[in-house]
Structure 1
Amino acid sequence: MSPSSVWNENEQILHSLKDDILVTNVDGIILKVSEVTGKIYGVDSESLIGKSVYDLEAQGLFSPILTPMVVKENKKITFVQTTNKGKKLLVTGIPVYNENGVLYRVVSYSHDITELVKYKDFLMNMEEEMERVKSELGHLRNKQLHDAGIIANSEEMKKVISTALQLSEVDVNALILGESGVGKSLLAKFIHNKSHRKSGPFIEVNCGAIPDSLFEAELFGYEAGAFTGANQKGKRGLIELSNGGTLFLDEIGELSLPHQVKVLKVIQEKQFYRVGGTKPIHVDFRLISATNKDLSQAISEKLFREDLYFRLNVVPVTIPPLRKRTEDIVPLIHLLLQKFGEKYNRERKLDEAVIHHLLHYQWKGNVRELINIMERLVVISPSTLITVEQLPEHIKETLPATTSNLTDSQNLKEMIEETEKQILLNARKRYKTTVRMAEALGISQPSIVRKMKKYQII
């Protein structure tokens, strides 16, 4: 086969390709192009042969140019190039060596990614819009939680609220678990108010507060003349009052075994008899229970019925203690400060040292104890600024865990600053943005920025 026929065959192969292919020497002079190349740049392909890519760049045909990059790096190069028609091309340049291993030619090929770039920009805009909407929904949800008296900045409480919202959509039995004072009844009301039963009654029964002798009469009601001293017209019980709404059995672990049997029967049959009555009363209620006891242990000790436990514990929700969700403490403090300030018509602010002590206190009584302390501080503080002197002794005497790492020479102001810096560092690692940090810590975003500059946190 003659060189001429081989050459023609190569030309045919080159032009049969549907991609932009361009060959230059090391000086940037174009030696070969495919037919598609001219169409991409809006010129005749043949007119490009013999021209310099440097001159074509100067004329604005495309930018940047590939040849000098490949020559300089002596390796395969890929980047995005823009044409005079505004197209975006993903261009790849490959070095070609002669028989002596010297760089001889540069072959480049490209793919039009204009539409992909548009899609990318569109997706980025969509992501920004979705983030904005997500942020607005987050603010709206936080406002709704705030109005309900619930703070959920910590990841632990966010999971609790997420589960509660799912529970509100269906009438499944729920068991709320957690230490005394964590807000079990508040969460039960939240579930009720988010459910389709929100227009119905929310009846709360403290199982540990009703004397055994009155339990049946209070829970089931009684007929006229059922016993000595009974109301002559009879009385509707708490279960009957919950019809169409939610029955919340708080401290369910305090029920005696005989009363557990009666409660189990009502849950199973959704009907009961009043004390002294012979006619069954049908009820439609959604059941939520709560306890601070370990019911599994109570079952093993024969103090709680296993069949009742399984009826109650269809979906368990555990509220973590306040000491394990420290991100919620500062927002709770500000919420309570505002609440009691309005209640007693007293504007009060907290000294930073007070917040420092409250943050490091263990809160064995959880949110209930914090509510008690904040109300006390608002009432007894003689001035607008609440200082450490107004704190109860058992809180003032509690040494923060972080002070073990501080030197004896540090004064209170330095200790507070060190603690504040650590809190900001931890928040920075978890939330990444100053907006999220501000939401989590319950202060404004400019305050976060100012404090980060103060402590040189990048």
Structure 2
Amino acid sequence: MNPTDYWNENEQILHSLKDDILVTNVDGIILKVSEVTGKIYGVDSESLIGKSVYDLEAQGLFTPILTPMVVKENKKITFVQTTNKGKKLLVTGIPVYNEKGELYRVVSYSHDITELAEYKDFLITMEEEMQRVKTELDLLRSKQLHDAGIIANSEDMKKVVSTALQLSEVDVNALILGESGVGKSLLAKFIHNKSHRAKGPFIEVNCGAIPDSLFEAELFGYESGAFTGARTKGKVGLIELSNGGTLFLDEIGELPLSHQVKVLKVIQEKQFYRVGGTKPINVDFRLISATNKDLKKAIQDKQFREDLYFRLNVVPVTIPPLRARTEDIVPLIHMLLEQFEKKYNRSKKLDEAVIHHLLHYDWRGNVRELINIMERLVVISPSTLITIEQLPDHLKEEFTPPAPSLDEAQTLKEIMEKTERQVLLNARKKYKTTVRMAEALGTSQPSIVRKMKKYQII
């Protein structure tokens, strides 16, 4: 086979390929191209031979150019190139060496990724749209929570709300746990209002407030003449009233042992008898219970039935105490201030020092105690601005930050900086993140970061 025939064979092989292949020398002069190359750039392939890639870039045929990059880096290079037709090409350049090991040629090939780039742009647009929708949903959910009287800025409360929303979709029994005053009744109403039973009744039974002698009559109702002093026409019980809705047994841990088996039977069978009645009454309710007691300990102490506990505790939800979710305190303060301003038709504003005191109070009575204090402040404050003087004495006494020691060798600025640094150290130890520190100290997160850098707090 003579050299000419051999060369023609190579040309045939080159043109038979369905990929864009282009060969240049180290100066960027095009030596060989495949037929596909010309189609990609909208020109005749043969017209490219002998031309400089630098000139073609200047003419706008494609950009950027590959040859100088491969020559400079002396290695395989891959990047995205744009053609005069607006196509996106993933171009790869490979260095070719002669027998002396010198860079001799640059071979490049490409793949049209225009559709992929368009898909990428589409996905980016969709992600932005989804983020916008998510933000709108978050705002809507936040407003709904606010309207329901629930604040969930802290991670723990976000988990509680997320669980509550899941519970609202099904009729499973739920047990809400938490200290007195954390808002168990509020969460139970929230679950009810978000459920398919929202249009039905929400019947709340405080198991610790009904006298033992009246418990059955209140819960199950009674027929006429069931006992002395009973109504002539009888009475519908609270369980019967919950038909089609939600039955909320609050303070279930206070339920006497003698009544626990009766409640268990109703939960299991959804059927009961009125006091003095002989006809079974079927009832359809969703059960939510709540307690601030340790029911497991009560079981050990023989004060609570284990079978009832397991019936109630299908899905437990624990609401953290207010002191454990400081991120929620300031939003709660402002929400309650707004509510009581409307209730008493007064315009009030809280002094920053008051907010600082409220943030660092222990809140043993939880949200209920905060509600009482905020209502009191709105009512008794003689002026628009609520100051420390209006705070209850016990709250002012509990918050007594230690005064910085006076050193005649220190200036006021040095004393204040020392105190500020100590406050930041304490806050970092307690709240871990700069976001939570900022919320607790009533300032911005960038300000916290800036001050930590200033005092070299790592």
Task: Say how many residue pairs are matched.
Answer: 443
1:409 matches 2:415? yes
Q: State the one-letter code of the partner of 2:179.
A: E
Gaps of 5+ in 2: 405-412, 454-458
Paired with 1:412 and 1:261, the residues of 2 have a C-alpha distance of 63
2:278 corresponding residue in structure 1: 278
Deviation at 1:393, TM superposition (A): 3.3
1:37 corresponding residue in structure 2: 37
Conserved 8 A contact 1:360-1:400: no
1:8 matches 2:8? yes
Instruction: Describe the shift of the 1:249–1:429 C-alpha distance in structure 2 as closer, same or farther (beyond 3 A).
Output: closer
Instruction: Describe the shift of the 1:4–1:110 C-alpha distance in structure 2 as closer, same or farther (beyond 3 A).
Output: same
Paired with 1:388 and 1:420, the residues of 2 have a C-alpha distance of 23
Deviation at 1:224, TM superposition (A): 2.1
Kindly provide the CA deviation profile for residues 225-256 of structure 1, in whole angstroms up to 9, marking residues without a partner as x: 22222223322211111122111000001111
Paired with 2:299 and 2:270, the residues of 1 have a C-alpha distance of 24
Deviation larger for 32-41 or 415-424: 415-424
**Which SS does the other structure have where 2:433 is aligned?**
helix
Paired with 2:85 and 2:48, the residues of 1 have a C-alpha distance of 17
2:408 corresponding residue in structure 1: none
1:384 matches 2:390? no
Deviation at 1:426, TM superposition (A): 3.3
**Which SS does the other structure have where 1:409 is aligned?**
helix
Deviation at 1:403, TM superposition (A): 10
Paired with 2:50 and 2:414, the residues of 1 have a C-alpha distance of 80
1:434 corresponding residue in structure 2: none
1:242 corresponding residue in structure 2: 242
2:102 corresponding residue in structure 1: 102
Instruction: Describe the shift of the 1:364–1:453 C-alpha distance in structure 2 as closer, same or farther (beyond 3 A).
Output: closer
**Which SS does the other structure have where 1:144 is aligned?**
helix
Conserved 8 A contact 2:327-2:436: no
Q: State the one-letter code of the partner of 2:433.
A: N
Paired with 1:195 and 1:134, the residues of 2 have a C-alpha distance of 22
Q: State the one-letter code of the partner of 1:90.
A: L
Paired with 2:247 and 2:150, the residues of 1 have a C-alpha distance of 21
1:77 matches 2:98? no
1:369 matches 2:372? no
Q: State the one-letter code of the partner of 1:227.
A: F
Conserved 8 A contact 1:421-1:455: no
Deviation at 1:331, TM superposition (A): 1.0
Paired with 2:403 and 2:69, the residues of 1 have a C-alpha distance of 58
Instruction: Describe the shift of the 1:21–1:456 C-alpha distance in structure 2 as closer, same or farther (beyond 3 A).
Output: farther
Q: State the one-letter code of the partner of 2:174.
A: A
1:287 matches 2:287? yes
Q: Percent identity?
A: 80
Paired with 2:378 and 2:362, the residues of 1 have a C-alpha distance of 21
Conserved 8 A contact 1:175-1:290: yes
Q: State the one-letter code of the partner of 1:99.
A: E
Q: State the one-letter code of the partner of 1:287.
A: L
1:50-449 superposed matches below 5 A: 50-399=50-399, 409-410=415-416, 426=433, 428=435
Kindly provide the CA deviation profile for residues 324-360 of structure 1, in whole angstroms up to 9, marking residues without a partner as x: 2222111111100101111112211122222222222
Structure 1 length as normaliser, TM-score? 0.88
Structure 2 length as normaliser, TM-score? 0.88
Instruction: Describe the shift of the 1:429–1:13 C-alpha distance in structure 2 as closer, same or farther (beyond 3 A).
Output: farther
Paired with 2:423 and 2:12, the residues of 1 have a C-alpha distance of 76
